[in-house]
Structure 1
Amino acid sequence: MVANLGPGLAAALASAAAMTAIVGLRYLVTSGFFAWLTGRVRPGLYQGLGPQIGAEIRWSLLSAAIYGVPAGIVAWGWRERGWTRIYTDVHDWPLWWLPASLFAYLFLHDTWFYWTHRALHRPRLFVLAHAVHHASRPPTAWAAMSFHPIEALTGAVVVPALVFLVPIHVAVLGLVLLIMTVMGITNHMGWEMFPRRLIHSRPGGWLITASHHHRHHEQYRCNYGLYFRFWDRLCGTDRGLLAP
């Protein structure tokens, strides 16, 4: 049936399906690893949360499709049609652009996340969509992608849109996705895995980790950022870290 759609559309749909499988598998492997690590480092932290974790996994696998479809279509368009501003030769742009593009993607993603996240806390949108994510009380390593489809869609469009606008080397793009995955999971684990000397340092004071994001899950109206505390501080929504 797919073959009857024409080679281009069939290939795009196959890429979307493959990317959905990759995102779903990545979620199961990475969240599974950090859940296992939690069991080793903080035994009993997730005790009694079996039903909640089951719901987190179900919502997350649905989100994997919502993230995977646009990413797969864009990946196909990049490979087959030359869409996007992804490049493979490091000399296509100055070498300084490699770290600069990493920061640009993280900052732009963080900006989008902060403002859409605040919007999702408006009462109607919260009840309609964001309540699914906040049903994780406390959040676990399985909660990073536990979103209602509406919320998942707001997150799924960011990086696919940015690759059409901001040049990025394919390896740096991979690093962006790695950081997005690791921080999304570790921010929800319910315990701080990064050393105190980093968290309480001057540079660490601008980063979001579990100590910062867990307070959002407790108080709701604060700490909206994803990677950085820039927008929270600028907008007066930063409530600091959980007590050690």
Structure 2
Amino acid sequence: MPESFGPGPWAVIASAAAMTAIVGVRYLTTSGLFAWITGRVRPGLYKGLGQQIGREIGWSLISAAIYGIPAGIVAWGWQDHGWTRIYTDADDYPLWWMPLSLLTYLILHDTWFYWTHRWMHLPGPFRIAHAVHHASRPPTAWAAMSFHPLEAVTGAVVIPALVFFVPIHVGVLGLVLLMMTVMGITNHMGWDIFPRRLVHSRAGHWLITASHHNRHHEFYRCNYGLYFRFWDHLCGTDKGLSAP
């Protein structure tokens, strides 16, 4: 989180600008790293996708501002006014709450993502907004934040909203954001960075991986989850893994 910028509207603007810069740099650094790894491990996988990748980066940098502005407002409200349930002293809650809060945030985020993602596949929202993301065929490591602004708003509000209601240690919140970033990128890489024995294991049956999300980009009306396959299994929208 950025340092406090003091009172007044300029403090809010400065915090939002700082978080926008952080999200943008995080995107360029992490997506760039995983794109580089892809080039080393799967040379030629992104061959001929230069124009698509350029569009992905452009949309993603717009999304960085949409994600950064509410995050900056929340950071300002937390530091200057104590509005949120973010805490820094590990003794404020039992230690067992840290892993439980992590799981709670992931499950709630995954639930929000699944249902808003299904909504985005209705004809109107898809045509207006979600088609931008599905222009990534096949998806690349740069596509994780490649959203139309309307879709970016639906993704940007959930974690900032949760911190007003569900207590979370600032370190655990950082872990949530890290997992959100890594899963978002690795799900779009076009190949499974996780070991095959995990992807095809009993645990893998419940986890989203690149081969699971690839199938969504191939067939559209299936495999809607972000972290877990729970809702896909429950709602009959899980169509398995993409071919290697």
Category of TM-score, reference length = shorter chain: over 0.9
Instruction: Name the aligned partner's letter for residue 129 of structure 1.
Output: A
Aligned to 1:187: 187
Aligned to 2:14: 14
Instruction: Name the aligned partner's letter for residue 9 of structure 1.
Output: P
Instruction: Name the aligned partner's letter for residue 101 of structure 1.
Output: S
Instruction: Name the aligned partner's letter for residue 242 of structure 1.
Output: S
Once residues 237 and 92 of structure 2 are traced to their aligned partners in structure 1, the CA distance between those partners, rounded to angstroms, is 40
Q: Secondary structure at 1:142's aligned position in 2?
A: coil
Q: Is the 8 A contact 2:32 2:141 kept in 1?
A: yes
Which sections of structure 1, spanning at least 5 residues, go unmatched?
1-5
The alpha-carbon deviation at position 199 of structure 1 amounts to 1.0
Compare 193-202 and 113-122 and name the one that shifted more: 193-202
Q: Secondary structure at 1:144's aligned position in 2?
A: coil
Q: Say how many residue pairs are matched.
A: 239
The alpha-carbon deviation at position 205 of structure 1 amounts to 1.1
Aligned to 1:138: 138
Instruction: Name the aligned partner's letter for residue 10 of structure 1.
Output: W
The alpha-carbon deviation at position 202 of structure 1 amounts to 1.2
Once residues 204 and 212 of structure 1 are traced to their aligned partners in structure 2, the CA distance between those partners, rounded to angstroms, is 10
The alpha-carbon deviation at position 7 of structure 1 amounts to 3.9
Once residues 119 and 214 of structure 1 are traced to their aligned partners in structure 2, the CA distance between those partners, rounded to angstroms, is 19
Map of 1:222-237 to 2, 5 A cutoff?
Answer: 222-237=222-237
Work out whether 1:26 is the aligned partner of 2:31: no
Query: Structure 1 stretches (4+) deviating beyond 4 angstroms?
Result: none
TM-score (normalizing by structure 1): 0.97
Aligned to 2:170: 170
1:136-190 Cα distance to aligned partner (Å, 9 max, x none): 0100000000000000000000000000010000000000000000000000000
Q: Aligned Cα RMSD in Å?
A: 0.9
Map of 1:143-158 to 2, 5 A cutoff?
Answer: 143-158=143-158
Map of 1:88-103 to 2, 5 A cutoff?
Answer: 88-103=88-103
Map of 1:82-121 to 2, 5 A cutoff?
Answer: 82-121=82-121
The alpha-carbon deviation at position 204 of structure 1 amounts to 1.8
Q: Is the 8 A contact 2:7 2:80 kept in 1?
A: no
Work out whether 1:123 is the aligned partner of 2:118: no
Map of 1:18-97 to 2, 5 A cutoff?
Answer: 18-97=18-97
Instruction: Name the aligned partner's letter for residue 174 of structure 1.
Output: G
% identical aligned pairs: 80
The alpha-carbon deviation at position 105 of structure 1 amounts to 0.1
Once residues 170 and 159 of structure 1 are traced to their aligned partners in structure 2, the CA distance between those partners, rounded to angstroms, is 13
Once residues 205 and 83 of structure 2 are traced to their aligned partners in structure 1, the CA distance between those partners, rounded to angstroms, is 38
Which sections of structure 2, spanning at least 5 residues, go unmatched?
1-5
Q: Secondary structure at 1:238's aligned position in 2?
A: coil
Once residues 242 and 19 of structure 1 are traced to their aligned partners in structure 2, the CA distance between those partners, rounded to angstroms, is 36
Once residues 66 and 204 of structure 2 are traced to their aligned partners in structure 1, the CA distance between those partners, rounded to angstroms, is 32
1:68-112 Cα distance to aligned partner (Å, 9 max, x none): 000001001100100100000111111110000000000000000
Q: Is the 8 A contact 2:62 2:149 kept in 1?
A: yes
Aligned to 1:242: 242
